[in-house]
Structure 1
């Protein structure tokens, strides 16, 4: 549904910190599904870990937050604004993400009141949950 250029028109993140390659489904302001194709060339793999490259869990959560930001900032009233991370609750990590994986990132808004909201995020690889959590955001 949205390619990388369209994503960059919505959120301010850029390489090497843009962690979403495309948005495949979206109900603006309600839910979105994105993809991240993880390659060996990701800069974080140089130090995490050289002998066994694993995507840091905090970056998986950040990728979910970016998908949520695309979802919220696509709403007409939020266009041109920035989404800020306000908190992460109930984060769980259940599997490794390694080079060659395609990370499926799904975020559903469970509470939105004014410029603050909470999204429930789930990251999967090959249908298996690798991370999940509730992400609080603020639109400024």
Structure 2
């Protein structure tokens, strides 16, 4: 299990935009990952979305799935240099149930395709065993020169 400090070594995101709290399982051979995102009422977006009925914005759920996919990409193709995975697109996005404070999002990503430095992942976010969001997420891998 990778905890937050190890995740910060992989992802460039920081509060309030780091949306993966823990890596639960990585299977490089099968190209899959499972991560955890604890949804807290203290997150800043709940102040305005919506004050009387807080709901996690869908774009943040997609971003959380993309971050889990980026961590998977890191594990599949480790490099000597610094690498970043840019969110490049989402297809087949479906929202099924609102995500609210107190929920635990299980973020699952599976590598679908890899062409040069363009990665495509099948992703889903699950709460209490129910899929709340699914999408195909595309990331572009980029080496960062120091």
- Short-chain TM bin: over 0.9
SS of 1:70 mapped into structure 2:
helix
Superposed, which structure 2 residues align to 1:1-140 within 5 Å? 1-28=1-28, 30-74=31-75, 75-77=77-79, 80-140=82-142
The two structures have a TM-score, normalised by structure 2, of 0.92
Structure 1 runs (4+) deviating above 2 angstroms are none
Distance 2:100 2:4 in 1: 21
> What is the SS of the residue equivalent to 2:10?
coil
**Secondary structure in structure 2 of the residue aligned to 1:6:** helix
> Counterpart of 1:8 in 2: which secondary structure?
helix
| Structure 2 residue matching 1:65: 3-state secondary structure | helix
Equivalent residue of 1:9, what SS? helix
Cα RMSD of the aligned pairs, angstroms, is 1.3
- Unpaired runs of at least 5, structure 1: none
- Provide structure 2 residue ranges, at least 5 long, that are not aligned to the other structure: none
The whole-number CA distance in structure 2 between the counterparts of 1:41 and 1:76 is 34
| Distance of 1:119 and 1:57 partners within structure 2 | 18
Give me the TM-score of the superposition, normalised by structure 1.
0.96
In 1, distance between residues paired with 2:129 and 2:80?
32
